[in-house]
Amino acid sequence: MVKKSFRVFGALAIAAPIGTMSPMKDDLPSRDAAERTALQALGWLAGQPDLLPDFMAATGAAPDSLREAAARPEFLGAVLDFLLAEDSRVIAFCDAANLPYTLPMRVRAVLPGGDLPHWT
């Protein structure tokens, strides 16, 4: 029997044999790559009429200032926070963008506020 360890990315837990997963910080994207992925997530959210109003309400963003807000790394962190709040959002975005399900959490860790501890 192979012992497994679990790493949690957002609400997604991934099982792998112990010793086969590298530390999360070794897998982090560059800041530029993280911002590009967050912008990709924002574009995806903008195309989701059922999610966009909730996102706008949660972030306090206004439609006329969205482009300006997207230039701020802190706002991009809020995009990832919203996406990561629900597994279904992570899965839908990653499936649409053909990205691994763990990427949004790694991207969030690079953006401002991503290094804060999560108490949930």
Instruction: Determine the average pLDDT of the residues in 12-17.
Output: 48
pLDDT confidence bin for 66, thresholds 50/70/90: confident
pLDDT confidence bin for 111, thresholds 50/70/90: very high
Instruction: Determine the average pLDDT of the residues in 53-74.
Output: 91
Angle, alpha carbons 73-76-79 (nearest 5°): 160
CA-CA distance, 51 to 43, in Å (whole number)?
Answer: 12
CA-CA distance, 5 to 29, in Å (whole number)?
Answer: 23
Instruction: Determine the average pLDDT of the residues in 64-80.
Output: 92
Global pTM?
A: 0.74
CA-CA distance, 4 to 25, in Å (whole number)?
Answer: 20
CB atoms within 10 A of CB 26: 7
End-to-end CA distance of the chain: 31
DSSP 16: E
pLDDT tens-place string over residues 88-105: 999 999 999 999 999 999
**Domain residue spans in the chain?**
26-110
